Structure 1
């Protein structure tokens, strides 16, 4: 007989978890996005119109990500994995905070800001351990490099992979996302019918769709509480004591 299947937690994380590490969201009224309308820095049209401005904007964001540090939520999820649970993270975030916390199975739906990619072949990717991207930086095929992120209006190449991961979940944990960005928000529809889904967010009461259990707490508080329960019981469940606290 083979080993029993490990409990499989699938996490869908959004900008709220990174915001607790100091990375502000594009919907915030302050921060980098406030002075840069989306259509001017985060669309294919913006890139064609003014690539230098787009590169400058993402260089600023890249510096912000490098300064940020994983918070208690990132660390708790990594610790759960070390305890023998299977933890798959599907993140809408383009930072590397999950990886720096120690998580090993992370799928970036919207790309990774610490990578550049070719403008003629998206498979040609280059890590950016330091510095940014400037006009004139080219790929091995001689074309300009761009941030390896999914801009508004572009397809999400890893969405199919994400659907397959969600379909294998024993429990689906949604953290720090408004569930308003498509197609990521539709991932909940791919979970097995008997798989419980739990949303951790300060605005969970108003954000959670029907059938999703709500935990109205910041990620840095709610996720560690849940992980402590799961580690102690060696199983994935929705503990009432946490929901009542």
Structure 2
């Protein structure tokens, strides 16, 4: 009997070995579909990475293509992240019950986040992953998402610095992941692993904001506004090199 149990446990572990790489691959490929690049090329026949900050994310999409196209970019990024996380849930647990499968959801979120930043389809030059990180937390634990967004809006609305809000909000998430996982009976044993994944995501997000951090320290970071003419409506890249030293980047 004990041998049968050992064999059953081994088969379960073997199944997990195949599931996790599959989740990671699917999520990464979905994440690599960078909506801002696709929208800029389809709608304007231009590459958003040649305009504004050069970042293929939501904030630069709004500044470079206008609010309407920026909202389309946001919708696309939310959709790909949600799809990846739900696929991760289904593959890992075999059902869509959120009582289990948190590991599959978080793994999928981490790799869609990685794909968004380093998209294989677009020369590994993408966004910064803020939006994909946020949506991952929606599906992992909505309470963590609420706390993170509260930090983000508190900082962003009071300072007008989107980058600062993104950085500080992301830095709060690993601790929240650890605390909420420890209080969840189904996730206690996985709390440290979940926290390490969240710490990796936060660390990479902060790293991608390193230029923003320098500008914040030097007092040269520009404040975000929905007003102003979309840069890509002009014929030329509108001094993209100069904008890189001023524009904020997100998503």
Regarding TM over 0.5, the answer is no
Report which of the two has the higher share of helix. Answer: 2
Give the structure-1-normalised TM-score: 0.31
For CA contacts below 8 A with separation 6 or more, give which structure has more relative contact order: 2
Give the structure-2-normalised TM-score: 0.31
The structure with more radius of gyration: 2
